[in-house]
Structures are given as C-alpha cells and as structure tokens.
Amino acid sequence: MEKPIYTSRVLSLSILLIFIATLSFSQTKKIKRPKSKVGISSVDNFVTESFDLYDKVYKYDGYAAAGTPLDDEDLDVLEEALDEVTALSENAPDLLGDIEDASFIKQGKATLQLNKAKKAISYSIKTAKALLLGEREREKENDDSQSSNGTESKNENSNNIPENTNETGTVINDSDDLEIISKFDFVPGDKLIFFDDFSQDFIGDFPSKWNTNGSGEVVKTNKAEGNWFLVKPGYGIQYLPLIDNKLPEEYTIEFDLLTNGLGKNTSSTARLYITLDDNNGFKNGPKNVHVTIPFGLYGAFGIQVQNSDTSIQKINATITADVRKAIVNTPHVSIAVNKKRFRLWIGQIKYVDIPQFIFEPSAIGYLKFNLTGIKDGEERIFIRNLKVAEGGVDLRKKLMSEGKISTNGILFDSGSAHIQPQSYGIIRQISQVLMQDESIKLNIVGHTDADGNDASNMTLSKSRADAVKTALIKVYKISGDRLQTDGKGESQPIGDNTTAEGKSQNRRVEFIKI
C-alpha cells in the first residue's frame, strides 16, 4: 500500500513543479512601476493611470498563464480595462511642453517614466485583446522588464519621448493633432462676466459663488491639480453660477470637465445638462434651450439638443457624436452664443452648430447645470475654471481697425509657457490677419497675474509671448521676421490680483501693429 501513496505524491509534486514553471516562465516579465514622482503633475498623472490599468491587465494575464479560466465577471473587468487603456492611449495628453519647461534633471526622469508608461500601455492593449479573444501567445519580453535578481533592464532609450499610439499600437503622427488644432475656430469673449476656479473656497464646502437646490462640494483629486467642483446627480437638481446680470445676446461659456469611475456599466442616461433659461430659479422656464453631454462608455449616445418656447418645441434631436474618448481625458468644453446661433466644442472638435437654436435671444440669459444618471459615490463628475465672457466675435476686424487687441483667451498651463489647445481659435484669427495683409507686423506682449515674484513673472510673460510667436510660425506658417515679442510680467494689471476674476483678466496677451 505504501508504493501507490509514494507514487501519488511524486506525481503530485511533479504536477506542482510544472505548474510553478508555467507560472514563472509563461507570463511576460512585469514592468516595474516607477517608485517616485517626477514633480510634473501632468506626467505623474499619466504614468499613474497607465500603470493602474497595466496592473489590472497583468493580473488577469497571470491567471491565464497559470491555467486558471477567466469567468464572465473577469472578462467584464478586462473588457472595461481595455476600453479605458485604449481611451488613455488615443487621448494621451501632449506632455512635450510640460517637459520642455522643466529642469534638465526632471526632463530626464520624465522621459524615462513616460517610456515605461508607453510600454505598459502597449502591453495592456495587446494582452487584453488577446485574453478576451482567447488567443494570448506567451512571449518573453526582456526590454525594460524586472529580471530575476530584481534589477531593471538598461535597454531603454532615454532620449525618446514616447509617441501616442492608437488601439492597435500604431504610432499616431503628431501632425494629426496639429491639423485639428489649426482648424479650431472657437474665440472666447473678451469682456469677463464670471470666472470661478474654486481657489477661494474651502475643501468640502459648497462653492461660494454658486447656488443649488441640492448638494455638492469643492474637492481636490489626484487626477488633476487645483480645486474642482464635485457635481451631485439628482432629478430636478440645478446648479446656478451666481452671475450678477442677465447674459447678453453674444457671449461664450467655457469650463474644464473631469470624470472618474465611468465604465461600460455607466448608464446611457448619465448626462450633464447645460441649460440657457429665461429665469434664474431652480425650475426651467417656458423658454429655454439645453444640450447634454453623455457619459456612457458602452455606446456612442450622441449629444441631445432641445429648445422650447412656451408650449412649442422647435428642436428636439440627438446629434450623432462619439465623445467617449474625449470625456475621459479632462476635456475643455467651449460654447459660443451669437444671438440665435449656438455652437459647442468638446476639446478642439466642434460637435454642435445650430444657426437658429436660440429663437428669442433677448428672453434667454441664465445659465444652469444639471447632472443625471450617475451612480453617486461610484461615478463622479467634476468641473473647474468656469468662464463666461461677453463677445466671442471676430477679433480680426478690431485688430485691423484699431491696430491693437488684448485677450485673456490664450491660456497657458499654470506657471508655464505651454499653450493650452483651446487657445488656438484666437491665434488662428491673428494668423488670418497676417496672411490677408503681408505688410502687417505685430508685437506680441505677454502679461501675468501677481502670483510669484516680479522677476519670474517678467521672464514667464516673455516666454509666453515667444510661445505664441512660435505657434504662429509653426502651425500657421507666418514668417518670424514679422513678429516681435515682449513681456511685461505683472507690471500692468487691469484687474484685482486678489480675486480669481481679476487674475484671469491680468493673464493676457496683446497684439499690437508695428
């Protein structure tokens, strides 16, 4: 009787050794997550998100390598991870400007970490697809992997900034994004009506410059810098910025949007309503228009547009649009109202342009937000940098007739000369003036708010003017000898530097005909 037991134990031990060998050598060696942060928030956020998704995919790859079948719930999680990592890949932020403005040491560290993030994303997309299709092929990838003694491979090319890749791993040409930017035609208003970045509010409080019949709070998040307004969902819950006067007939609305926790189970009814109404109460009046931004990720649900006049509904439609990739990448939302015309951009893409949407401009002049379909506590929607400004009309005529324009619509990253993409509508109009009359030469003058010291602000303002000049040369092919630059720092304020509105006014760029 002893022999069969002994044989059985040997057989069991052999099976266990085979299992361990399979687990050890079948799965791709793990890429090590960076242990420290670079200190550039956009880079740190991108690297963290990349490795969070990578770890999730790697775990399920380990199950498959060990021969553990993936059940339906595992496949659901894996499919959601694939959607998220694909969206992250296709909407990877442009980090070049952030890196260029950093110190030499930070540039090197950022480059190394971004190379790792690129490889983590590439692995995640390829592996998740293979696992979902049951076609996972085992490979040994020694490049940048963790070896048996715990050291990293030294095969990284630290001189390469990672390129964006699409869901198949194909490199996306930088000119693709450049072409979108060059055609972006939103021009913000030049007379500030309302601005709130929530910097003056205490964390956990409802924002002081808003009103609601529900709840909400100002928070910080590790996904993006600054304070954000966490909007709570609810039927009939309205959020009203406390704008002193009724809006004019021509104005622009802008804000940044941040999402968290969205997935394939997010409801198709999850939407942010942006309403222009005939009153500033919590109930919509008989005359109003609204658009909705969808948050569901398992389908392209489109942008709903609707207007009404008493009992008559003139427009009630859903515009075909797939904004899923945009909404997970902290987009900037821009709206232009020019009397009856209504336009909406998400990022640099224009999705709505209805010439007769606002049927009675003089009657409609109050802004409201409403959030529906979000699972409170699981899915979260934040907004920041709400800016409402009068104008938004053609700056070209003003520059031609007056010889000078000043705008706070060209936005830069905080403390940086990196131009935010939503600013290119103004730069585009400046380029059109220069192309129309080749005799015109311009002096570009940068101004900052009073945050920081005088010397650094003077340097920053000149760098920002130089960045605008570079954009005119590289994006719109304007000759550099027609452009001069100057920086005035904080020396010529036009607003109160103790308020968010005043600071926003002071951060501006002037274009002056020479």
Q: What is the pLDDT of residues 439-478, one digit of tens each?
A: 999 999 999 999 989 999 999 999 999 999 999 998 889 9
Q: pLDDT per residue over 113-148, tens digit each?
A: 888 888 889 888 988 888 887 766 544 444 444 433
Confidence of residue 91 (pLDDT cuts 50, 70, 90): low
Q: Report, as an integer, the average pLDDT of 74-88.
A: 82
CA 115 to CA 395: how far, in whole Å?
41
Q: Report, as an integer, the average pLDDT of 205-220.
A: 96
Residue 63 is predicted with a pLDDT of 77
Query: What proportion of the chain, given as a percentage, has pLDDT over 90?
Result: 42
C-alpha to C-alpha distances, 136 to 64, 78, 126, 128, nearest whole angstrom = 8, 13, 9, 9
Mean pLDDT rounded to a whole number for the chain: 82
* Residue ranges of the chain that CATH labels 3.30.1330.60: 173-179+395-514
How many whole angstroms from its chain centre is CA 178? 16
φ, ψ at 486 (rounded to 5°): -155, 160
The set of residues, in sequence order, having a beta carbon less than 8 Å from that of 372 and lying 6+ positions away, is: 233, 234, 235, 269, 270, 271, 273
Residue 152 is predicted with a pLDDT of 37
Q: pLDDT per residue over 318-368, tens digit each?
A: 999 999 989 988 999 999 999 999 999 998 899 999 999 998 899 999 999
Which range, 34-38, 74-78, 503-507, has the best average confidence (pLDDT)?
Answer: 503-507
CATH topology of domain 173-179+395-514: 60s Ribosomal Protein L30; Chain: A; (3.30.1330)
Question: Is the pTM value of this prediction over 0.75?
Answer: no
Q: In angstroms, what is the C-alpha Rg of the chain?
A: 26
Residue 97 is predicted with a pLDDT of 63
How many whole angstroms from its chain centre is CA 252? 19
* Residue ranges of the chain that CATH labels 2.60.120.560: 189-391
Bridge partner residues of 305 (DSSP): 291, 317
Give the orientation angle of helix 104-133 with respect to helix 41-65, to 10 degrees: 30
Confidence of residue 501 (pLDDT cuts 50, 70, 90): confident
Is-contact 193 251, C-beta < 8 A?
yes
Confidence of residue 230 (pLDDT cuts 50, 70, 90): very high
CATH topology of domain 189-391: Jelly Rolls (2.60.120)
Confidence of residue 280 (pLDDT cuts 50, 70, 90): very high
Give the H/E segment covering residue 90: helix 72-90
The one-letter code for the residue type at 130 is A
Is-contact 365 243, C-beta < 8 A?
no
Residue 143 is predicted with a pLDDT of 41
